[in-house]
Amino acid sequence: MNKAELVAEVQKSLGADTSKAAAERALEAVLEGIKKGIKTSQSVQLIGFGTFSVTNRAAREGINPQTREKIQIKASKSVKFKAGAGFKAIL
């Protein structure tokens, strides 16, 4: 499912009187809220769906696959998603 298909599902969920543009704005608002929550509090928990959290990756040594040369990979941050029980039950 891509973003356009997700917008169509949101529109269908909100009812026939909701425009595609309004459904897209609603989806964008949710995504921006998750981004803001991750940035400020380091995690966003949606009961029944899951938890988005920030994880730290340590610096490490890697190998350039083209040259087989050893390289240093910097420490970085990443976002992790852990599915909640209600979401797992659907699968």
Q: 38-79: per-residue pLDDT in tens?
A: 999 889 999 989 999 999 999 999 999 999 999 999 999 999
> Could you give the CA distance from residue 73 to residue 39 in angstroms, rounded to a whole number?
23
Degrees to nearest 5, angle at CA 32 with 21 and 30: 60
Q: Find the domain containing 24 and state its range.
A: 1-38
Residues 30 and 54 in one domain: no
Q: What pTM did the predictor assign?
A: 0.77
Considering its fold, how many domains does the chain have in total? 2
Residues 20 and 55 in one domain: no
Cβ pair 49, 61 in contact under 8 A: no
3-state secondary structure of 58: coil
Cβ pair 86, 49 in contact under 8 A: yes
Residues 75 and 33 in one domain: no
Residues 19 and 46 in one domain: no
Residues 55 and 34 in one domain: no
In a 13 Å sphere around the CA of 86, the CA atoms on its Cβ side amount to 7
